[in-house]
């Protein structure tokens, strides 16, 4: 496989079951994206290098070429997406423009089966991917002689009350009642409020806070949010130090969060903490995750892009 292991645990070998998937898809609503032919063509090149197949039109040899690419992996409910590259006249040189000899650029369609990101299998894959990414960050940090901190952030009753009020009045202005929303949406609205506090916490850790004698630190992070039994959000955080000269201090972590509530941090001794932080992502589709730019996309210290992430939505 040309792309690295993080892309899909299942691989996307073309087999009879995948052909079946595309045939079955004709009965499902396809998401159609119209794009310039050149863009679809370059996407198709990557697709063909990664197990896609060219499907000739059954009747017309000059019909747009169709590439089928199944990247839905284990998904039980894959979504058909069609990137339609439209054919067009293209002048290859100024001379051609003047003489009117423009060249016909044939169209090409890229049909994909992409994961639904909702089913049980997709959620397992999501947790697996973030777990693997976290392990990679843990190892990078360790190799640089740094530590990884794993912690949980919760909110005090007074802070909860303030955040609830903030969410209520924000929604009130739009004529929506927070309590009338389904629990999942209430959770999302509360996460919107609590997220600001967590963002500020991370900013303060990075910049330090002179008054509280917290020194600036350099780190990368992974943040997952999950609901308590009463649907109020709490956060699991992985903080990977990147500079041995600018470490995180336990006292600093506690000082910066103590206004908001309770936090418990410990130094992760193994990658088990990474898996724990990602575990919840496999349980419910509305669990959310936030991380540093290119989190976990480093191989041997070199940051790479994930071709599947750039091509799927």
Residues that bind Zn ion (CB under 5 A): 75, 77, 115-116, 119, 122
CB of 74 to Zn ion, least distance (A): 8
CB of 84 to Zn ion, least distance (A): 24
CB of 119 to Zn ion, least distance (A): 3
In 16-119, which ranges are continuous DSSP H helix?
16-25, 37-49, 94-99
CB of 13 to Zn ion, least distance (A): 18
CB of 122 to Zn ion, least distance (A): 3
Give me the residues paired with residue 84 across strands. 34, 109
Q: Smaller CB distance to Zn ion: residue 13 or 54?
A: 13
The count of C-alpha atoms lying within 13 angstroms of the C-alpha of 266, restricted to the half-sphere facing its C-beta, is: 7
Q: Smaller CB distance to Zn ion: residue 120 or 192?
A: 120
CB of 54 to Zn ion, least distance (A): 26
Q: Over the Cα atoms of the chain, what is R_g?
A: 24
Is 188 strand, coil or helix? helix
The count of C-alpha atoms lying within 13 angstroms of the C-alpha of 303, restricted to the half-sphere facing its C-beta, is: 6
* Spatial distance between the Cα atoms of 157 and 197, rounded to a whole number of angstroms: 15
Q: Smaller CB distance to Zn ion: residue 40 or 278?
A: 278
Give me the residues paired with residue 66 across strands. 55, 109
Give me the residues paired with residue 70 across strands. 113
Q: Are 91 and 103 in contact (CB under 8 A)?
A: yes
Q: Smaller CB distance to Zn ion: residue 122 or 248?
A: 122
Residue in the block written with tokens 């589709």: 285
* Cβ neighbours for 214, distance < 8 A, ≥ 6 positions apart: 204, 205, 208, 249, 251, 252, 255, 256
Q: Smaller CB distance to Zn ion: residue 125 or 225?
A: 125
Distance linking the first and last C-alpha atoms of the chain: 21
CB of 236 to Zn ion, least distance (A): 24
Closest CA to 68 of 34, 113, 9: 113
CB of 109 to Zn ion, least distance (A): 23
Q: Smaller CB distance to Zn ion: residue 84 or 124?
A: 124
DSSP structure class, residue 154: -
Q: Smaller CB distance to Zn ion: residue 128 or 276?
A: 128
Q: Are 142 and 148 in contact (CB under 8 A)?
A: yes
Q: Smaller CB distance to Zn ion: residue 18 or 271?
A: 18
């Amino acid at each position: 496989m040309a792309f690295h292991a993080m892309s899909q645990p299942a691989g996307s070998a073309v087999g009879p079951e995948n052909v079946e998937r595309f045939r079955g898809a004709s009965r499902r609503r396809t998401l159609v994206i119209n794009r310039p032919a050149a863009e679809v063509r370059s996407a198709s090149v990557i697709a063909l290098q990664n197990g896609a197949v060219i499907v000739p039109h059954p009747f017309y040899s000059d019909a747009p070429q169709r590439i089928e690419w199944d990247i839905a992996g284990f998904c039980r409910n894959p979504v058909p997406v069609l990137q339609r590259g439209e054919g067009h006249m293209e002048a290859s040189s100024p001379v051609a423009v003047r003489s009117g000899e423009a060249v016909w650029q044939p169209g090409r369609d890229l049909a994909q089966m992409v994961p639904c990101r909702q089913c049980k299998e997709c959620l397992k894959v999501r947790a697996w991917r973030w777990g693997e990414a976290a392990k990679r960050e843990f190892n990078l940090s360790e190799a640089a002689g740094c530590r990884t901190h794993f912690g949980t952030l919760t909110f005090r009753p007074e802070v909860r009350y303030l955040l609830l009020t903030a969410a209520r009045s924000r929604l009130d202005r739009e004529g929506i009642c927070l309590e009338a929303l389904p629990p999942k949406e209430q959770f999302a609205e509360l996460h919107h409020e609590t997220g600001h506090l967590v963002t500020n916490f991370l900013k303060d850790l990075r910049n330090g806070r002179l008054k509280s004698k917290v020194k600036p630190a350099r780190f990368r992070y992974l943040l997952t949010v999950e609901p308590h039994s009463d649907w109020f959000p709490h956060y699991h955080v992985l903080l990977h130090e990147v500079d041995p000269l600018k470490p995180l201090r336990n006292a600093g972590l506690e000082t910066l969060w103590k206004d908001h509530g309770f936090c418990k941090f410990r130094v992760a001794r193994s990658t088990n903490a990474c898996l724990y932080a990602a575990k919840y992502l496999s349980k419910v589709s509305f669990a959310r995750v936030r991380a540093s730019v290119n989190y976990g996309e480093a191989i041997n210290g070199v940051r790479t892009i994930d071709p599947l992430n750039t091509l799927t939505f």
